[in-house]
Amino acid sequence: MRRRSLLFQSLALVLFSLALGGCAAKERTKPLSPVFLEDRDVSAKDEELPFLHAWIDPELPPGYYNKVYFRSVSFDKLPPDAWKASRSSFLTKESEFKKHAQDLADYFKQQLVDEVSQYKNGSFQVVDQAEEHGLVFDVELTELEFSHPVQKAGMLLVPVPGAAVMFSAVSDPHVAFAARVYDGKTGKLIATLGDRKFPPLRVLDVNKLTITSSAREIVQAWAEIIAEGLNRDRFKKVGDRGIFRILPW
């Protein structure tokens, strides 16, 4: 009888998740926002780049760039009420959200610097100003939802299959970014990038038990990808991310 009861509970949770999970599913599949990229076609995508949007000036001379300046990573373009999606017992005020968002932006910038600087046999030098033969990156966080630690912990403790999956379907931490890349000498816009990511699905996701760990995991992955893209030869594999063409600088 107990086994049958657990089965009915599991079925009920699955049906409940299907009913409530539409919002999260829509969040995962909706088109990328044009915020910070209003002058670009954000539906444009290079199939060899692991981003939802990528545009690169096709006339860039190969091998011309060998420096990169990560000028800014900010969150100024987030909607005024963006913090409400992250509200939890550990995050109750907009000011707290902004502090965590600033910390995340700073972390993203530092990871970009570290990943490129420490890339083995890398061909790019990280600099602290715009220079000739250099790229200049300006990055905006355009979507941001932090984890909900108390709720996540509760769902992980529920001994019913599907419970944690149900909660993930209703609300998931995620981050989206947009980047504009300029020529360091002329200031000409030469590339734009954009992406939205959710943390990997795990049976037991300890990262979701803290407010910022999932978001940090996401931006860390982006920093690794960008470092790889700057340094890899054309059509070489980047870890387990599949084929990734070098950005032609």
Pairing of strands 125-126, 67-74: parallel
In whole angstroms, how far apart are CA 94 and each of 29, 103, 113, 131, 148? 27, 14, 29, 38, 15
With 0.75 as the threshold, say if the pTM is over it.
Answer: yes
Q: Which residues span the domain enclosing 7?
A: 2-231
Does any domain span residue 26? yes
Which residues partner with 132 through β-bridges? Answer: none
Does any domain span residue 203? yes
Does any domain span residue 240? no
User: Which helix (H) or strand (E) covers residue 102, if one does?
Assistant: helix 94-117
Q: Domain tally for the chain?
A: 1
Render each residue's pLDDT in the chain as its tens digit; 249 residues. 555 554 454 444 444 344 434 455 666 778 999 999 999 999 999 877 789 999 999 899 888 999 999 999 999 999 999 999 999 878 899 999 999 999 999 999 999 999 999 999 999 999 999 999 999 999 999 999 998 875 544 444 444 444 444 344 345 789 999 999 999 999 999 999 999 999 876 544 444 568 899 999 999 999 999 999 898 754 344 444 434 444 555
